[in-house]
Amino acid sequence: MRSSEQNIESLEPGAVLLRGFANGEAASLLDEIERIADAAPFRNMVTPGGFAMSVAMTNCGAFGWITDRKGYRYGDIDPDSGKTWPAMPEAFRDLARRAAETAGFVGFAPDSCLINRYVPGAKMSLHQDKDETDFAAPIVSVSLGLPGIFLWGGAKRSDRPRRLRLESGDVVVWGGPARLRFHGVDTVAEGEAPCRYNLTFRKAK
C-alpha cells in the first residue's frame, strides 16, 4: 500500500486509526524488539496496589514507563538492570513521527517507547495515559503480532468503550482533544503468532 492510499479512520477529533501503516516495517520492528529485550528483558511489573500485570513490559528511549508499589512513573534507569534503557532505534522514532504527522500532529519527537507484550490471556484495563509532564504531544500506538481488541473509551472510565479490532501493522494516534481518553485492550486470544506486541510512543518529559 502506498502511503497516499493509506487507510485513515477517524475515531473522533484528535484520534485516528491508521490501518496497516507499519505493515512494511513489521518484520524489522520485531527484530528490534528482540534486540531491545536482550538488553532489557520483558518483565511483569507490579501495580501500586500490589498486582502483577498480565502484560509484560520493557522500554527503549531516554525514559521508560515503570510501575511498582511506589507508583506509576517514568525513569531513565531500568530498575531491573540499574542501567539506562536501550536507545530508541531510529526506525522507531521515524515511524512514530510519520504516523503522528499523518494524524495531523507535526514534529512529534518521542523520548519514550513502552513495549508491551501480550501472551494469550493477557489484557490491559481501561486507563488514561497521564504520567507525562506535557499533554501537548500525542500518543502513537503500534500493534504487531496477534490481533487485539482495542477498547476506545471516553473522558470518563464509565463511558462505554468502542471495540476496535487491531491487526499487526495498525497504528492508533490520539492527541489534542482526545489526549486523555480512556483506553485498554481486551483479553488477547490464541492465534497465528505467539503474542501481541504494542509500541507506545510518548513524550514523557
- Interface residues with Fe ion (CB under 5 A) are 129
Residues 6+ apart with CB under 8 A from 151: 126, 161, 162, 163, 164, 182, 183, 184, 185, 186
Residue 131 and residue 58: Cα distance in Å, rounded?
16
For ligand SIN, the binding residue among 93, 116, 140, 171 (CB under 6 A) is 116
Q: Which positions from 143 through 162 interact with ligand SIN, judged by CB under 6 A?
A: 143, 150
185 is an interface residue for ligand SIN by CB under 6 A: yes
The CB-of-125 to ligand SIN minimum distance in angstroms stands at: 10
Is 183 an interacting residue with respect to ligand SIN (CB under 6 A)? yes
- Decide if residue 200 touches ligand SIN (CB under 6 A): yes
Interface with ligand SIN, residue 21, by CB under 6 A? no
Size of the site for ligand SIN (CB under 6 A): 9
Give me the least distance between CB of 11 and ligand SIN, in Å please: 13
Q: Is 171 in the site for ligand SIN (CB under 6 A)?
A: no
| Residue 59 interface partner, choices Fe ion, ligand SIN, none, CB cut-off 5-8 Å depending on type | none
**Backbone φ and ψ of 5, nearest 5°:** -100, 5
Interface with ligand SIN, residue 112, by CB under 6 A:
no
Task: List the strands of the sheet with 162-166, edge to edge.
Answer: 124-127, 183-185, 148-152, 162-166
Residue placing its CB nearer to Fe ion in the complex, 32 or 129: 129
Cα dihedral sign, 122-55-153-12: negative
On whether the CB atoms of residues 149 and 186 are closer than 8 A, the answer is yes
Least CB distance to ligand SIN at residue 117 (A): 10
Which residues here bind ligand SIN, judged by CB under 6 A? 116, 124, 141, 143, 150, 183, 185, 198, 200
